[in-house]
Structure 1
Amino acid sequence: MLLVKKTGAVIAGFLTVVILSVATDAALEAAGVFPPSSEPGLYARHLLLLAFAYRSLYAVAGGFVTAKVSPATPGRQVMMLGILGTLGGIGGVIYGWDLSEHWYPVALAVTAYPLTWFGGTLGMKRPGTAASDLPA
């Protein structure tokens, strides 16, 4: 049962990132800020920077959620989420290489793990504990 709960913590963090990212993409597209998703080549650099900024925040949020809902060893679950994010980012590099500027998918892949881990450390921090008390 513990394995199911630990897996659920990783899934909760993953869904946090995916749902927030997709919802923000859709809202910005509906508002006319982003071009249609069928035209990824129309994304100007400032739009890619905007997408990178909120996706970075959502990666932190995903790590935080995973750490908070993890029943035990939250660092391991956060690590698994970071690995999943990195693998997804690598998939984005491969799939999206010709769809936008190259720095964008590479930046997502490179920052997925550290941003997720940062969110996890925020989620693992308990009131009254020093940062040095958290697992490395």
Structure 2
Amino acid sequence: MRAPLASLGAIVAGVAVTALTATLVDMAMRAAGVFPSPPQAMSGPLFVLAAAYRAVFTVAGGYVTARLAPDRPMRHAWILAGIGLAAGLAGMAAYYAAGGGRLGPAWYALAIPLEALPCVWLGARLAVSRRTPDARLA
């Protein structure tokens, strides 16, 4: 019973690192006046900044998931990547349903789901490389 709970915990921790940190940084950026408050639109460079730190947090989420996984760390990371991809695609669908261009550039809506797979993979590979040779169950 412990292994399934540990597996679930590893994946939930990766989701938390990825989603909660991005949300908290978004809130901090708004509070600091770096990002404008709604309904004002952000400029292109601010979307680049947001995409960049989201990528870093997604790498961190992959790392955390793989480090906490009780076994097969890359499998756990791929599950996290699938969750990130699904969430990103849902966000992209919402972007287009809400009128697209009024919310920001289309590249940003597309970048979020596309960065899920390579960023989670990178974080997981970094974590696996830090394991002892006999524990590298990729």
Q: 1:59 is matched with which residue? A: 58
Aligned residue identity for 1:112: A
Paired with 2:131 and 2:42, the residues of 1 have a C-alpha distance of 42
Equivalent position of 1:113 in the other structure? 117
Amino acid at match of 1:28: M
* Unaligned ranges ≥5, structure 2: none
Check the 8 A contact 1:121/1:134 in 2, yes or no. Answer: no
**TM-score, normalised relative to structure 2:** 0.88
Cα distance in 2, alignment partners of residues 53 and 112 from structure 1: 12
Superposed displacement of residue 126, structure 1 = 2.5
**Residue in 1 aligned with 2:104?**
100
Who is 2:74 aligned against? 75
The structural deviation recorded for 1:92 is: 1.0
Q: Which runs of 5+ in 1 are unaligned?
A: none
Partner of 2:127: 123
RMSD (Å), alpha carbons:
1.6
CA–CA distance in structure 2, aligned partners of residues 78 and 13 of structure 1? 8
User: Whole-Å Cα distance in 2 between the matches of residues 48 and 92 of structure 1?
Assistant: 15
Whole-angstrom distance in 1 between the partners of 2:130 and 2:43: 41
Map residues 17-96 of structure 1 onto 2, 5 A cutoff.
17-36=18-37, 38-39=38-39, 42-96=41-95
Q: Which amino acid aligns with 1:91?
A: A
Question: Deviation at 1:127?
Answer: 5.9
Q: What residue is the counterpart of 1:6 in the other structure? A: 7
SS in 1 for 2:22: helix
**Segments of 4+ in structure 1 off by > 6 A?**
none
